[in-house]
Amino acid sequence: MKLIIIMVGIFSTFSLFAEQVGTWTASPEFLRLKVYGVYASTSNDCSNLQTIFSSETAEEVNFLDAPNLGSGIIPSGTYPCVLIEMSSQITYASDADSPNGACGEGTENTLTVCQTGNTTTLADGTVNNCLDDTDVKVALYLNTIAASDGSDSHNQDVWNKPTSTTDTTKGFTLQQALVVSLEASGQFDVNGSNKVMEWNNNGTTECEFQPPLFSFSQN
């Protein structure tokens, strides 16, 4: 058994559904969201989840401050699936002004990452309906076999549990599995440097995020 302390390493951006590539990029000044729980599975189908920590309530934290999200004890092993239960709404700001004014330095933006018409399946099997402009608890399934980089998060499949060990349509790509041993454990790294983008959405200039990269590093 190994005590795991979940701390965020590099977490620069977290929007999961920008669908066009912009020409101007920046990094965020802050990124705030709530994390209710973290779970891990030794199988790509995310079965038999081990609870690292879980809470009914969660305080909003700035992920750029490298917060300690929680801790728990799980067996040593390799975990290719990690589930993070989080708020569906995040707030962020660019660290620079964009050329057309869509992104303002320090200007807070609110983004709902799972929208109306989509569902999400939590660790205990509860299915929540996502709603526009409403904060609900959603499940971020990170999986080493998932094909999605997050750009299609408007597709409800990415917020739900894989149906088999070969189901690549559910969840978001985890570049490196969580490895737990008596000697070391993984630190959660979310790398989204320069992912804040100004882009044109059907004639309207908007400030968005491109998907970050998720992985675990050894510490």
Q: Is the pLDDT of residue 10 over 60?
A: no
Q: For residues 118-135, give the mean pLDDT.
A: 92
Whole-structure pTM value: 0.83
Q: In angstroms, what CA-CA distances link 116 with 56, 64, 88, 136? A: 23, 28, 11, 11
Q: Is the pLDDT of residue 21 over 50?
A: no
Q: Beta-carbon neighbour count of residue 202 at 10 Å?
A: 6
pLDDT of residue 85: 94
Helices assigned H by DSSP within 106-218: none
Helix (H, G, I), strand (E, B) or coil at 64: helix
Sign of CA dihedral 95, 63, 154, 88: negative
Q: Is the pLDDT of residue 218 over 70?
A: no
| Residue ranges of domains in the chain | 2-218
Q: Are 143 and 170 in contact (CB under 8 A)?
A: yes
Tens of pLDDT, residues 75-116: 888 999 999 999 999 888 899 999 999 999 999 988 888 888
